[in-house]
Amino acid sequence: MGKLKKSVYLEKNYIISEIEKIDLGKNQISTNSKNVNKVIGGGFQSRKTYVVFGANKTGKTQLCHQLSMQAFRKSQKLIYLDTENTFRPERIRELAVANNLDGEKALKNILVSKIMSNTAFLLKMNEIENIIEHNNIKLLIVDSINNYYRLERGDKEISFFKTKTTFLRILEKINDLTQNYNLITILTAQVAPNFNENAIIKEIPVGMQYLNHFFSEFLHLSYRENDMSYIHLLNSHLLPEKKLLYMITKKGLEDYKI
């Protein structure tokens, strides 16, 4: 075999080997809703960060609780960073009963940290790498990512430069951890009005300009009526824009049934 052909052959085998490594490391977590799974390509995928945004009562935290249960079902530990004090152990127990699982064991599977400021958030992000390595973490949940950015942006005693810089460092760290440790990452986000008159979606995540710099998978949740809600995939690099119905039940997010 000539040197050029041998070089091409070795390079081709190396590329195939790297692709195989990525495939072997793939992880996916689905929900109880076929519609939600359909929107996101079968389930939430590893090495991706999903920004889930919408108004109150649209199911953002419900989705976080349900995915926590789904990770437990797959014997995968997770980190849950709670910036709004919305993590509810009783909801985990309820989901466990509805899915014939052990609620107390499920709670022990979730490494919960309550975050009290963006400075504390950044410090926690710097600790997480060691936690991931020693606990085989596969899922990272932050509910919500922009709570303290929104609050500190309006605080006259905190400079906007410091607020923005801290927020960007948090996002950068999340992106690095997601890629380096093959994580599925879910970030819920608070919203603000979208003042673009031609926009189909009338609300956007607070700090969208920074979130959009790091992440591409955006899921908009919106409440319609009679317990009906929509999930709308936006801005995905690989999947088409799609919008479908779901409903929230004792089991979590499920397909809407007429």
Q: How do residues 173-226 score in pLDDT, each as one tens digit?
A: 999 999 999 999 999 999 999 888 777 788 999 999 999 999 999 999 998 777
End-to-end CA distance of the chain: 66
How high is the pLDDT of residue 18? 42
**Domain residue extents for the chain:** 27-254
How high is the pLDDT of residue 4? 54
Measured in whole angstroms, how far is the alpha carbon of residue 107 from the centre of its chain?
A: 19
**CATH 3.50.50.60, applies to 27-254:** no
How high is the pLDDT of residue 14? 45
Write down the pTM of the prediction: 0.88
How high is the pLDDT of residue 32? 83
Phi and psi at 228, nearest 5°, equal -90, 135
Q: How many CB atoms lie within 10 A of CB 94?
A: 17
How high is the pLDDT of residue 1? 54
Mean pLDDT, residues 56-74 taken together? 93
Q: What is the mean pLDDT of the chain?
A: 88
| 82 Cβ neighbours under 8 A, 6+ residues apart | 112, 113, 114, 115, 143
E strands within the chain? 28-29, 44-45, 48-54, 77-82, 110-114, 137-143, 184-189, 191-193, 203-205, 217-223, 229-234, 242-249, 252-254
| 207 Cβ neighbours under 8 A, 6+ residues apart | 146, 149, 150, 167, 189
How high is the pLDDT of residue 24? 46
